Structure 1
């Protein structure tokens, strides 16, 4: 059993010594670094035409330059979040942002596809865990009633960053070459990393695992960790649902500049601008749908997940219509923008639910489990599968087929809505219970949660 030293599941991770101005300063810095994260991650997509022309790369290879970051982020997200939960989120984020910024700068010195691929992998090493740790910091510094809205805004920063990355990459490459684009966005990230050291950290509650006379090893440890994180199926269902929807988001973000370049004859810089508007619509959508979710769930928490069922279906219908119907270019673009405004509907809402069904002492880790799933099975899959389908048939076919997974996303969000409220109550009860079972030597249980200053 688990108890928090504060005795309050709602406030166990909130540092009462952090003033509102300092909390909002923290949010501003978290937001800006999320922008930097996605500027560095997505700048590559506006450079696809230049790389294809210079090195003769296939669409599968180009998609791999995007997917490799998501794979690395997925693999490292849980270990990094565990370390951040134990040793401090602010210091961890400073290290992460420094690494991804320096790796982005290194991309400008690449002389082959292999070198660029390796540098992009190191960008992923730096970005590992940032979304989950940043979300946990927001969850601790602000009241629960604001979580979906603020997390929607936080993840909307990824869309804003992606817009800036795509647009800036296209403009800089047009005037100074694609190598200069990496340097232009890498150095500001280093400055923001240093400023992040001024952000207040919160006093966490650390979950210590008591030993058990019985099976041990990596599998047993992982099993105990997951049972400590949450009880019930909601978290797993959210990971599956979010992964399907992120396939759609990553495919659209990665391939829209190339779509406008190939099918509408736009120069790379102009194609990047048109694609940037799509991503900007996604930023608005993440914030707007988070705000809507906070309001529809005031009486019944599960309503926020039912909202996602509707929005993921609408996203799939709009994109399939846009890429299969015989439409005028302007009409097609409007349909694409409408789909773009809905496709990011899940990002803030889904993470807010994960935090609700995760023990307060392991919020970074709980968010990291979700981030691991959506990166490995969603963000990494979309660009690569899009490239494979494009090589086999056409890019238009890829962009019409991938959104269909949104129907699967809706089904899993509906399933999660059935267990969400019960799992949330179970986690709250876990925090309040006294650790009576710890006196029984043959029963494993996490030890009492104790406060520790980061």
Structure 2
């Protein structure tokens, strides 16, 4: 591991002053990871037709195949990121998931495609926690939600590219070429990051009392430390429930439009992507990032409160989507879903860093993502697919619409946990400072 050890001194000294370039690179990584992650949703109808698969199997392909390894491997990789070069971990992970995305396009059977999606999850597991840690060392805590919001816009841009470009390529050249084309930019970005990005010193933006020490704790001790914080526990629950609702609905929305309104993936991809990219700017950057930072300067409890309000907006919009009598109604309702579903991200990522000791920041982000993604990303699409299959005898082609009613239940539940996170936040932060000074 000595070759991975984080360099010290002058080579890192200018990294914080170059923080906007670092943030742009990390946002591009996040863009490509979401492009590769969500591309599957727009091509599901083509895969279903070619491989003759049930909705339950498609749900497992969309959720469990990716999420299980993405979530569980994130924690051990984050432990490495808390000790060694975060840049190296990100670049290696980026290369892996980009190559595996290409292999998705070369898969000749469901089993091969399932394995390739596992590979995408393995690669993406190493990017986000290390990125959160680097951003926290580049930006002051009063600006972190905004910085996290800018990085999180990569999710919306990646989805835009996946749903629009992926839908067009799949319609004209086949779904396999959509995966092959999507994997190439990541290989190029790997080289750019390796040769041009500098990693900041750990704790560069923190008070001396909270600066990292040289003592390393075990993984179990790190988990116990983080889960002992009441606000952190509620934060993780809120994240999991929002992800369950948002990713489950997004994975199945193109199929719903195809079945209920006759709108094929090549035509539904653009409006879905435009709604999400617009909602990303409004929800992720302006509301979840800039507004949360502004309100949080005077009262940090507003950061999780913003996420709670967003979860309720998502829940209300989802009811409108499920009972939409027309395309116009559905698009309007989905605007509320998209804004609400993107509002939670920047506050959640900022809180995952704020509630953790400096030496456990990558671990904190990974643990939150592991729990949230195993439940949310892993079960959202499969549960909606299973519910659709179970309801098919009664509701026929409308079974998927009825299955979408799982979304407002999860969204309302998430809002409760974010509100509790806010109520307990002063005590949690006070306890953390006492521990740091002990």
If the length of structure 1 is used for normalisation, what is the TM-score?
Answer: 0.86
**Does the 8 A contact of 1:234 with 1:420 survive in 2?**
yes
CA distance in 1, matches of 2:171, 2:106: 18
- Superposed, 1:282-297 pairs within 5 Å as 282-284=279-281, 285-289=283-287, 290-297=289-296
CA distance in 1, matches of 2:383, 2:224: 33
1:245 aligns to what?
242
2:4 aligns to what?
none
Deviation by residue 1:392-413 (Cα, 9 ceiling, x = unmatched): 2211112233232111111111
How far has the Cα of 1:381 moved from its partner? 1.2
CA distance in 2, matches of 1:278, 1:385: 24
SS at match of 1:87: coil
**Does the 8 A contact of 2:16 with 2:137 survive in 1?**
no
- Superposed, 1:22-421 pairs within 5 Å as 22-67=18-63, 68-197=65-194, 198-204=196-202, 205=212, 207-209=214-216, 221-229=218-226, 231-284=228-281, 285-289=283-287, 290-324=289-323, 327-393=325-391, 394-421=399-426
Instruction: Note closer, same or farther for the CA distance 1:224–1:207 as it changes in structure 2 (3 Å cut).
Output: farther
**Does the 8 A contact of 1:258 with 1:271 survive in 2?**
no
SS at match of 1:414: helix
**Does the 8 A contact of 1:250 with 1:379 survive in 2?**
yes
* Larger Cα-atom Rg: 1
**Does the 8 A contact of 1:98 with 1:126 survive in 2?**
yes
**Does the 8 A contact of 2:242 with 2:410 survive in 1?**
yes
CA distance in 1, matches of 2:214, 2:423: 28
Deviation by residue 1:175-205 (Cα, 9 ceiling, x = unmatched): 1111111110111110011111121112233
SS at match of 1:202: coil
1:422 aligns to what?
427
The alignment covers a number of residue pairs equal to 408
CA distance in 2, matches of 1:349, 1:110: 38
CA distance in 2, matches of 1:178, 1:16: 43
**Does the 8 A contact of 2:66 with 2:378 survive in 1?**
yes
CA distance in 2, matches of 1:281, 1:65: 28
**Does the 8 A contact of 2:311 with 2:341 survive in 1?**
yes
CA distance in 2, matches of 1:121, 1:333: 32
Cα RMSD after superposing both structures:
1.8
Which moved further from structure 2: 221-230 or 71-80?
A: 221-230
**Does the 8 A contact of 2:310 with 2:339 survive in 1?**
no
CA distance in 2, matches of 1:335, 1:373: 29
- Structure 2: gaps spanning 5 or more residues: 1-10, 203-211, 392-398
**Does the 8 A contact of 1:73 with 1:128 survive in 2?**
yes
Deviation by residue 1:352-383 (Cα, 9 ceiling, x = unmatched): 11211100111111111111111111111111
- Structure 1: gaps spanning 5 or more residues: 1-14, 211-220, 434-454
How far has the Cα of 1:170 moved from its partner? 0.9
CA distance in 1, matches of 2:327, 2:340: 20
Instruction: Note closer, same or farther for the CA distance 1:398–1:102 as it changes in structure 2 (3 Å cut).
Output: same
**Does the 8 A contact of 1:102 with 1:190 survive in 2?**
yes
Instruction: Note closer, same or farther for the CA distance 1:53–1:231 as it changes in structure 2 (3 Å cut).
Output: closer
If the length of structure 2 is used for normalisation, what is the TM-score?
Answer: 0.89
Deviation by residue 1:246-300 (Cα, 9 ceiling, x = unmatched): 1111012211111111111112200222222233244221112221111111211
How far has the Cα of 1:303 moved from its partner? 1.7
How far has the Cα of 1:328 moved from its partner? 3.4
Instruction: Note closer, same or farther for the CA distance 1:58–1:292 as it changes in structure 2 (3 Å cut).
Output: same
Deviation by residue 1:147-198 (Cα, 9 ceiling, x = unmatched): 1111122122112212211222111111111111111011111001111112
Which moved further from structure 2: 363-372 or 251-260?
A: 251-260
CA distance in 2, matches of 1:264, 1:230: 45
CA distance in 2, matches of 1:206, 1:257: 49
**Does the 8 A contact of 1:156 with 1:282 survive in 2?**
no
